[in-house]
Amino acid sequence: MKQDGFLTKYWSGQQFVGIPVVDSKGNDCGKIQSLCIDPKTFSVSGIIAKKRVSSEYFISATYFGTLSKSSLILNSVPIKPNDRIVSIDGKNVGKVIKINLNPDTNKIESLEIKSRFKSQTVLSDRIVGVGDKITIKN
């Protein structure tokens, strides 16, 4: 392995800050703001990413695909704040304002979404598709 200061035997958390995050379809998911370390295992459980003016959000290590000096490429499309939510029949439901994770597994438990006039919580078992927009069951 080339020892260019990035992919060496030991890495520091600062080496990752600012690296762009790209999903499996090539879409920009923001930049790494910080690493999240599991206090029991001392392993990386995920990252905090931020895209321009949107809020920071957590991406679990289960999404990690390939890491290079220029980017972290994810193995699928994550759910992010401001993602559009639509129903199965294509009707606009709102946008993601908060992602609620299970603290033990880092899996999504629910999404808090906001439409023009109301906010609601959508449990993860109602999510049927994630891509350019998130599709939920009625």
CATH 2.30.30.240 residue spans of the chain: 13-74, 84-136
pTM of the model: 0.78
Strand locations in 38-118, DSSP E? 44-50, 57-60, 64-67, 72-74, 84-87, 92-101, 108-114
Hey, which residues does 50 pair with through a beta bridge?
31
User: Digits of tens for pLDDT over the chain (138 positions)?
Assistant: 234 455 566 777 788 899 999 999 898 999 999 999 888 888 889 999 998 877 789 999 999 999 887 899 999 999 888 899 999 998 999 999 999 988 888 889 999 999 888 999 999 999 999 988 999 998
CATH of 13-74, one of 2.30.30.240, 3.40.50.2300, 3.20.20.70, 3.10.28.10: 2.30.30.240
Q: Does domain 84-136 have CATH number 2.30.30.240?
A: yes
Torsion of CA 117, 134, 128, 56, to 10 degrees: -100
Non-local (6+) Cβ contacts of 70 within 8 A are: 19, 20
E strand or H helix at 121: strand 119-123
The rounded distance, in Å, linking the Cα atoms of 96 and 82 is 5
